[in-house]
Chains A and B, each alone.
Chain A
Amino acid sequence: MSNSEETLVIRDLRRHLSGIDDDDNAETETTADFKYNLSLKVALPVAAIKSLLGVIQRTKSETMMGLQKELKLASEEMISFANDPINAVLLGGRSHIALASGCDLFLKYITRSFLEIPDFQACITQILSRGQRFSEISLAARDRIASVGQSFIRPGMKVLTHGWSKVVSSLLINAAQDTHFEIIILEGRPDAGGAKAASQMYAKAGIPTTIVLDSAMAYFMERVDMVVVGAEGVVENGGIINKIGTYAVAIAAKEHKKPFYVAAESFKFARLFPLNQNDLPDMGENIREKLNFVDTACWIATGGTIGTSPETCEEKDSSPSAVPGLVKIPQEVKVDNPLCDYTPAKYITLLFTDLGVLTPSAVSDELIKLYQ
């Protein structure tokens, strides 16, 4: 594959991630959006599949084998792009698992289409026309999830959630239109995902929201009635991979006998089978050590400015490079900062997907059917 072809795929991926050219991405956000907000609008697998559709449009292959080879190369390109820590900002800190599973599913879909329509050109036309509607399909998936999950939220409930997830937010905001309930959300270090979600989505929707420390999760668990989280990826045994901290929430929920629900689209189903945290796919070498701690003691969730008044910080350092509210870490102290963790299936009560409400063991059923 020539160099210009590779850059085209990545260029497409960037474009789709920023959602600039998408006019069917009509979400009800206000005009005061930051650039990273735009990039977080589009689900990562959707952007990847659109880029793969671009590869199909530009292909000069005459056979399915040739096209599959090109698509495979393009997927690998995108996965290594996602692994590169330089691109972490564009990806909004999401892992590439959903990307890999989305590409996998798309390649399987191509193969299956070719089995139905043996004529290469006709098959390509069919795929491209279906592909144009793909972003609608993924938004429709979110709506379907919101509708199946709605009946689980009853009036007066306290719902605990974790992390920034468009699926969960659409589910909760939808439910809030008919039911009155409260949200408790974890602040979500190190990227303050929870705090951002609360201020930008739930507060605007008028749902009473409380932000608590990640460490305070177990303290509040006895007060909540249910837990709902999103997922970066859903694995074969019905477990999920999600933002760090989800595993802890799941264990506490199980201990307190609170139902733990997961909201995820079906293109997040991946052919992975982790046995423990160690088995998670590599997120890239440098990401784990890179720390972007947000000192929430000084972070004002609505505005996002770090407080500069000396009264708010514990350590008074008079050197000019000291930032109030931050603790200086010496070189000898190591820092480990994983992005995602794996929650085994036994902690998950039900999954809300666009295929319906599934038990964790049914996920494997669906995966076998998808990949047969």
Chain B
Amino acid sequence: MKEVTKVFMGAAALMTDGSILSRVGTANVALMAQSNNVPVLFCCETYKISSRVQLESITSNELGNPDALISTNCAIDRSGSKETNGNDVLNEWRSVESLRLLNLLYDLTPSEFASGIITELGILPPTSVAVLLRELNQKENDLGSSNI
């Protein structure tokens, strides 16, 4: 991180308080960048802005396939499944009663870790997401659209 000058990441959704819902691991990167004073920019279209607020990562997350965690090998073979060499310790995790594998897909990055959100309307500070939601909704109402 000492050699990095800027961090760019994408987002799955933006919460109204400026927190960013994104692929698991994003919060880690943002935290490390912030502690090294490296600016973190999120690229996100405005249709991803949600009117919800989420306080922490675990609620309303999604679960992926737990078997994906068995192998620490990143390589994926042609059929789309991970290459396993049969020697992985976790291969027989189902047989161990007290063991569960949890594959979370999303995590929440607090707004303090983002330096800016890049949208198609320009670069905004994370605190302004709510403003954008208000302005976009107003425009929809003015145009007479009632689909929301």
- A positions within 8 Å CB-CB of B: 236-238, 271, 273, 275-276, 345, 361, 364-365, 368-369, 372
Q: Is the CB of B125 within 8 A of A368?
A: no
- A238 vs B122: C-alpha distance in the bound complex, in angstroms? 15
Interface pairs (7), CB distance under 8 Å: A236-B124, A237-B116, A275-B41, A361-B125, A364-B131, A368-B132, A372-B135
Q: Is the CB of A275 within 8 A of B39?
A: yes
Rounded to whole Å, the gap between the CB of B107 and the closest CB of chain A is 24
Q: Is the CB of B128 within 8 A of A368?
A: yes
Residue pairs across A and B with CB atoms within 8 Å: the count is: 36
Q: Is the CB of B6 within 8 A of A361?
A: no
- Tell me which of A273, A361, A372 contacts B116 (CB under 8 A): A273
B127 contact set on A, CB distance < 8 A: 361, 364
- Tell me which of A275, A276, A365, A372 contacts B128 (CB under 8 A): A365
Chain B 115-131 interface mask (CB, 8 Å, partner A; 1/0): 11000011111011001
B41 contact set on A, CB distance < 8 A: 275
- A236 vs B132: C-alpha distance in the bound complex, in angstroms? 13
- A234 vs B86: C-alpha distance in the bound complex, in angstroms? 60
Chain B 28-55 interface mask (CB, 8 Å, partner A; 1/0): 0000000000010100000000000000
Chain B 1-26 interface mask (CB, 8 Å, partner A; 1/0): 00000100000000000000000000
Q: Is the CB of A369 within 8 A of B135?
A: yes
Residue ID in chain B nearest A346 by CB atoms = B112
- Tell me which of B6, B123, B135 contacts A236 (CB under 8 A): B123
Q: Is the CB of A364 within 8 A of B135?
A: no
Chain B 100-114 interface mask (CB, 8 Å, partner A; 1/0): 000000000000000
- Tell me which of A275, A364, A368, A372 contacts B6 (CB under 8 A): A275
Interface centre among A271, A273, A372 (most CB of B within 10 A): A273
- A237 vs B131: C-alpha distance in the bound complex, in angstroms? 13
Q: Is the CB of A364 within 8 A of B116?
A: no
Residue ID in chain A nearest B41 by CB atoms = A275
Rounded to whole Å, the gap between the CB of B102 and the closest CB of chain A is 35
**Other A-B pairs, 18, CB within 8 Å; known A364-B124, A368-B124, A368-B128:** A236-B125, A237-B116, A273-B122, A275-B6, A275-B115, A275-B116, A276-B39, A361-B127, A361-B128, A364-B127, A364-B128, A365-B128, A365-B131, A368-B121, A368-B131, A368-B132, A369-B135, A372-B135
A364 contact set on B, CB distance < 8 A: 124-125, 127-128, 131
